[in-house]
Amino acid sequence: MIQKNPTENPLERLDDWDDDVAQRYPSPGAKLDSDSQDFRDYSETTRDGVRDFYRLNHERQTVDFVKATREKYLPPRARSMGIWDAMDFLNELVDDSDPDIELPQIAHAIQTAEAIRADGHPDWFVLTGLIHDMGKVLCLFDEPQWAVTGDTFPVGCRYSEKIVYHEFFELNPDWKVEEFQTQAGIYDVGCGLDNVLMSWGHDEYLYQVVKDYIPVEAQYMIRFHSFYAGHREGDYDFLMNERDQEMFRWVRKFNRYDLYTKCDTEPDYDALMPFYRQLVDEFFPAKIWW
């Protein structure tokens, strides 16, 4: 499926954002530092499409947009689909100009899960690797890229300067709303992330779809895996409570599998599918609401 309207969807491939993050954080534990070589390399190599994508994302993710989109999708009630139905659906998302060299979405899902399994982690952790990006089905519900992927961040309070392309927030109408631009904005310090509105994307959406079926650690991994200003930069501690802090250890543990396991070789699906079918059956009923 080719993404219509390049002005709204500047990424050539939806996964260009994911690849860009891996470039921004090139090694486990690396931080974005404006004086470092890494940062210079990063800003010089970022593709124009990725920059345009960040501009749209930072400009359009307003408090009003997040509230309206949550109303539209939550609680999930529009479609009843099994995990594999949704995975097949997601695999239709081939938005590269040369789909022959583009791996299907399931490749990253299996590569992430297999790396977690190889390190001997529990079943629920492996399952999380498999499903963590399935919220990207939002693209097939005609949401623009800037409302599906990208770094996530709290809306309704001051934007962390650690958020990549922070300068684009000046284009956001919320930039001029005084109430939204104090440090904690509309929130109480230490209120806990459950009380915070995050920018809308595949993380929050999938969390809402699967939360009743998976352990709390897995819920956090899915819900906050793109919240780099939080889990990588530690710049939103003032909104977090003790439970968030504890759970973010798991989010960080997950992040290295998400970022550093991509490769061009396609997994041997035939050999692996029996294991993954059984794993999904252990946690999910035949159909769930999306």
Q: Which residues bind Fe ion (CB under 5 A)?
A: 133, 258
Give the long-range contacts of residues 71-77, CB within 8 A, separation 24 or more: 73/138, 73/205, 73/208, 74/208, 75/208, 75/289, 76/205, 76/208, 76/209, 76/288, 76/289, 76/290, 77/289
260 to each of 29, 253, 254, 288, how far by Cα in Å?
A: 12, 12, 10, 30
CA distance 113 to 272: 11
Q: How far is the CB of 178 from Fe ion (least distance, A)?
A: 33
Q: How far is the CB of 63 from Fe ion (least distance, A)?
A: 23
CB closer to Fe ion, 180 vs 207: 207
CA distance 162 to 184: 16
CB closer to Fe ion, 132 vs 162: 132
CB closer to Fe ion, 56 vs 106: 106
CB closer to Fe ion, 69 vs 152: 152
The distance between the two most distant Cα atoms of the chain, rounded to a whole number of Å, is 56
Q: How far is the CB of 67 from Fe ion (least distance, A)?
A: 22
**3-class secondary structure, 283:** helix
CB closer to Fe ion, 143 vs 174: 143
